[in-house]
Structure 1
Amino acid sequence: MTQIPIDKRLDTAFASPDVHDLTIPGDGVVAVILAYNEALRFPYFLEHYRKLGIAHFIVIENNSTDGTRALLSECADVSVIGTEKPYRDHKSDWRQLICERYLEDRWVIFPDVDELFVYPGWPDRSIGDLVRDLDGSRYRALFCPMVDMYPKGPLKDLTYTAGDSFLDTSPYFDGTGYRYCPLKGSHRKRYKTPSRHVFGGTRERLFHQDAKRRASAFDRALINRFFSIRSNAPETSTGRFIDHLVFKLVKNALPDTAAVQSKIPLIKWRSDYRFSGGVHGIDKGIRVAPDWGTLLHFKYLDDFQSKVTEAIARKQHTDDAGHYRDYNAQMALLMEEGLFGSCSKKFTGTESLLEFGLMKHVGDSISLR
């Protein structure tokens, strides 16, 4: 089959002249970001990633109306690609085509604007040092749980200002309530990396709980034994077979609408990789480091209610924004009482995440020098 030229595919996916002839530094980690109405978060987001040592930012700006593009146009280290194409239909294509055109065999990070990437050795260790060690061990990706961050009080009391630290505003996270297990359905077979994902945490505690049947004591014992957040994904075909047999026994006791709470956001890109819609999985089997980073996720700022309303109206997310409808159903409670609970812990550095199994540092697999 004849391969369509990359420039033609770029034109089809973006319909924007901005996508051609970007000027990108010849080395260093590049961030590729999809954004819609993120003027509130971008100032601190950029500050955080610049401190990590990101060489350049490529932002696909999807028709924002809040001044996002004007804000980014003033940044010398940001290339902005404006597009009016629908996010739902093109989000994977946008990332993949940009990487194919500009970033083959380069380390790329794919954060959302409400995510801060941290890892063993942060903040003293640069992302450049991190990827040099990954290269030294021939790893091509780093796995990261997504950890929802929130304030202690009601959301209605937040007074976040653009440029303020996300962590000063929302320093708490759920320390328990996670599991590390395979996906349900056909995605498990199609997207080979990673073989397991993280589920649970804040979103399942508050929003996504409906399952086909109630979990029995036997279900809970199997989940704790095989799929705790501290367990290891099987590395052999026999181990993966056993993993999926056990998972079949318990999957109907797990929430049907469970949100995947993990990604592989840091990847050494190759042009034949394909994402599973978001950055949760890749269709190829690639070497993933045994260490875990973490994506601290700051969805719950002052604009949470308006973001949910906007997402439901736009219907650009999975299942016509089904998860956002779940958020909306609990909105009054969140605004009046907040997300804080008995399992809430305060983030005081990477040690907080290591303590609860939400980050991993496996011996000398990645040096912390």
Structure 2
Amino acid sequence: MMKDSRSSFDDLTVVSGDPDRLQGFTLTGLVRNEMYFLPAFLTHYRKLGVARFVFIDDRSDDGTSAFLAEQADVIVLNSPYKFGDRVGNDVAAAYKLEHRRMDLLWRTQLIQFFALNQWSLHVDVDEFLHLPDGMSIAEVSDALARKDAEAHAVWSVMLDMYPASICDLRDMDAQDSFDLGAAWYFDGLQHLSLREDKSPKVTYGGSRARLLGAHGLNPKAGSKLQRLGHGLGLKPVRYNAVYKPILIRGTEEAVFETSHQVRLKTNRHALLPLCHFKFNGQVYRRIAQAIADGQHPGGASEYADLARLLTKMDEEESTFLCKSSTRLSGFDDFVRTENALGFD
């Protein structure tokens, strides 16, 4: 399960599942109170060919741990620490962590302990990867590796999905579980341009940046000129990260520098479409929990901004849609909008 050279720094305890018995293509991630997403999430990724799920559960109290313990293909680990805790100097030095955040240590440990020298996925449970029809994640990994044999990670573009209107979002609040088959939309524009040995260049900031800008709430659009530019229909000022490496071949040097950056060479030819469901039926409760916990980087400022946006949209009975909105129907939507690359 773990490497002897760092076993003295391991604070993780297996609470369900058998790491020695479960094998196969692995997905790792962090969870806390995820019963809304987990049934759909596990079903979706099993269909993509994931055979083993490994989660660190950060103090869930909504039945997440018990539900995961019932799954034959899931391993759950606990830690005495919390998501937002600081990592000690000795541990940070051992893992060469530049940012001493517990969540980054956990992400790094999951890759190094459970996916060393093999391809794996590392995603959050509100993130749903899409692949070409009929292709498994193992087949995609092999195909993309042939395009760039030196690469150990593949970028994804994070596409913030949304329903048609704020009324639709409110209606979802009554749902106990996430419905991936509902009418979901994304901004059908190219978001990223790949670069060699660099993070992707952002060519479009995504729907959250667009919506915040349209309602005058993007804190990063500080100048009058930037606000005027949005009013004239220009590209929105960037707000949130819209890329992250999710397909990773683990090495001893695989360290998460941020939740959107890993210290590995990335594939310069491939881009995976990752549907990010920030605007979901539990968004109001998740905002309240994140702000109350104070465990997220920046003091949950993104959640505070999201709360202001939804409040204003509620007051105005706003739509999420714009002229570039594309209703999700299949993988071809991502190819056509240049949000999936390397599949020709």
Pick the TM interval, shorter chain: 0.7 to 0.9
Query: Unaligned 5+ residue runs, structure 1?
Result: 183-191, 229-252, 364-369
Aligned in 2, Cα 1:108/1:50: closer, same or farther, shift over 3 Å?
same
User: How big is each residue's C-alpha offset from its partner over 1:141-165, in whole Å with a ceiling of 9 and x where there is no partner?
Assistant: 2211000111113211226745653
How far apart, CA to CA, are the structure 1 residues paired with 2:193 and 2:266? Answer: 18
SS in 2 for 1:296: strand
Residue 104 of structure 1 aligns with which residue? 116
Contact 1:160 1:301 in 2 (8 A): no
Question: Sequence identity, in percent?
Answer: 25
Find 2:207's aligned residue among 202, 218, 222: 202
* 1:129 maps to 2:129: no
Which amino acid letter does the alignment assign opposite residue 200 of structure 1? G
Residue 326 of structure 2 aligns with which residue? 345
SS in 2 for 1:101: helix
Contact 1:42 1:113 in 2 (8 A): yes
TM-score relative to the length of structure 2: 0.80
Contact 1:198 1:260 in 2 (8 A): no
Residue 169 (structure 1) shift = 2.3
SS in 2 for 1:169: coil
Aligned in 2, Cα 1:181/1:5: closer, same or farther, shift over 3 Å?
closer
Residue 165 of structure 1 aligns with which residue? 179
How far apart, CA to CA, are the structure 2 residues paired with 1:320 and 1:333? Answer: 22
Residue 103 of structure 2 aligns with which residue? 91
How far apart, CA to CA, are the structure 2 residues paired with 1:92 and 1:130? Answer: 26
User: How big is each residue's C-alpha offset from its partner over 1:165-188, in whole Å with a ceiling of 9 and x where there is no partner?
Assistant: 31x224111123846599xxxxxx
TM-score relative to the length of structure 1: 0.75
Residue 30 of structure 1 aligns with which residue? 26
Query: Unaligned 5+ residue runs, structure 2?
Result: 85-100, 213-217
User: How big is each residue's C-alpha offset from its partner over 1:52-102, in whole Å with a ceiling of 9 and x where there is no partner?
Assistant: 000200011100111111111100000011235121231111121232223
How far apart, CA to CA, are the structure 2 residues paired with 1:131 and 1:266? Answer: 8
Residue 20 (structure 1) shift = 11
* 1:322 maps to 2:312: no
How far apart, CA to CA, are the structure 1 residues paired with 2:329 and 2:72? Answer: 32
Contact 2:163 2:183 in 1 (8 A): yes
Residue 188 of structure 1 aligns with which residue? none
Q: What RMSD over aligned residues (CA atoms) do the two structures have, in Å? A: 3.0
How far apart, CA to CA, are the structure 1 residues paired with 2:198 and 2:255? Answer: 11
How far apart, CA to CA, are the structure 2 residues paired with 1:210 and 1:135? Answer: 37
Aligned in 2, Cα 1:339/1:321: closer, same or farther, shift over 3 Å?
same
SS in 1 for 2:10: helix
Find 1:148's aligned residue among 160, 182, 198: 160
Which amino acid letter does the alignment assign opposite residue 322 of structure 2? G
* 1:79 maps to 2:89: no
